[in-house]
Structure 1
Amino acid sequence: MEIELRETSDDDLAVFWEQLTHPGLQQMAAITRKYHYDRGHFDTHWAKVRNDPAVLLRTVLADRVVAGHAAVFGPPEEREVTYVIGPEHWGRGIATRALAELIRLEDTRPLHAGAVADNAGSIRVLEKCGFTVTGRTRDFAMARGQEVEVVLLTLG
């Protein structure tokens, strides 16, 4: 399978909306925001992200099909990675390959990440890409309506 990262286009946003509003993805990610549920908030969020020169945003393609997105954001001393792969593409190694490519594009270190403690797949992706567990915290998971444990990871 060919994995490619490319600049995000307007057409990608419809796919991102479908992915971010998928109940299974929301449950798995747990830490959701208003833009996961409301199209107006989604449009505002993505306009801000796409216009922020500090954000490194890429659309993830798997065999030329939009599979998700990956990004690095935040100030230099707190740069964080995030990625979303649509449920129809899970279990195929796409997230690992996309994240590996994304961190090759970003020179800043350290990079930080977080994943809900029961999201073993995401933690495994981060560890395969060189991130190590550096702590744990708790955060409110809107998708689950409760506080959850979050594993913090760092790539030095």
Structure 2
Amino acid sequence: MDISLRELEDSDLPIFWQQLTDPELQQMAAVTRKYHYDRGHFDRHWAKVRADPSVILRSVLADGAVAGHAAVFGPPSEREVTYVVGRAHWGQGIATAALAELIKLEPARPLHADAAVDNAGSIRVLEKCGFAITGKSRCFAQARDEEIDLVHLTLR
């Protein structure tokens, strides 16, 4: 499978909306925001993200089809990575390949990421890309309507 990143296009947004509103994806990710549930918030969030020149934002393509998105954001000393791959594309190495390409675009180190402690797939993706667990915390996970444990990962 050919995995690549490209600049986000307007036509990608309906796919992202479908992915982010998938209840199974929300449950797995656990930590969600208003834009995962409300189309108006979604549109405002993406407009803001796309207008921010400090954000590196890419659509993830698998054999030419949009499979998700990946981004680096935050201030220079606290850069974070995030990625979403739609459920139809899980378990195929797409997130790992996309994250590996994304981190090549960002020279700043360290890079940070968080994952629900029971999200073994995401933790595995991050570790395959060189991230190591550097801490733990608890937070409220709206998708699960409860406090959960998070792991913090860092790429140095």
TM-score (norm 1): 1.00
Could you tell me which runs of 5 or more consecutive residues in structure 2 were left unpaired when the two chains were aligned.
Answer: none
**Structure 1 runs, 4 residues or longer, greater than 2 Å off:** none
Residue type of the alignment partner of 1:46? W
Aligned residues: 156
Residue type of the alignment partner of 1:13? L
Partner of 1:125: 125
Partner of 1:45: 45
Residue type of the alignment partner of 1:86? G
Cα distance in 2 between the residues matched to 1:43 and 1:140? 24
CA displacement at 1:93 relative to structure 2: 0.2
Partner of 2:13: 13
Cα distance in 2 between the residues matched to 1:13 and 1:98? 18
Q: Deviations over 1:19-62 (max 9, x none)?
A: 00000000000000000000000000000000000100000000
Cα distance in 1 between the residues matched to 2:96 and 2:72? 15
CA displacement at 1:154 relative to structure 2: 0.2
Partner of 1:23: 23
Give 1:75-90 correspondences, 5 Å limit.
75-90=75-90
CA displacement at 1:96 relative to structure 2: 0.2
Could you tell me which runs of 5 or more consecutive residues in structure 1 were left unpaired when the two chains were aligned.
Answer: none
Q: Deviations over 1:57-109 (max 9, x none)?
A: 00000000000000000000000000000000000000000000000111000
Cα distance in 1 between the residues matched to 2:139 and 2:100? 26
Identity of aligned residues (%): 72
RMSD: 0.3
Cα distance in 1 between the residues matched to 2:133 and 2:26? 23
Cα distance in 2 between the residues matched to 1:126 and 1:4? 17
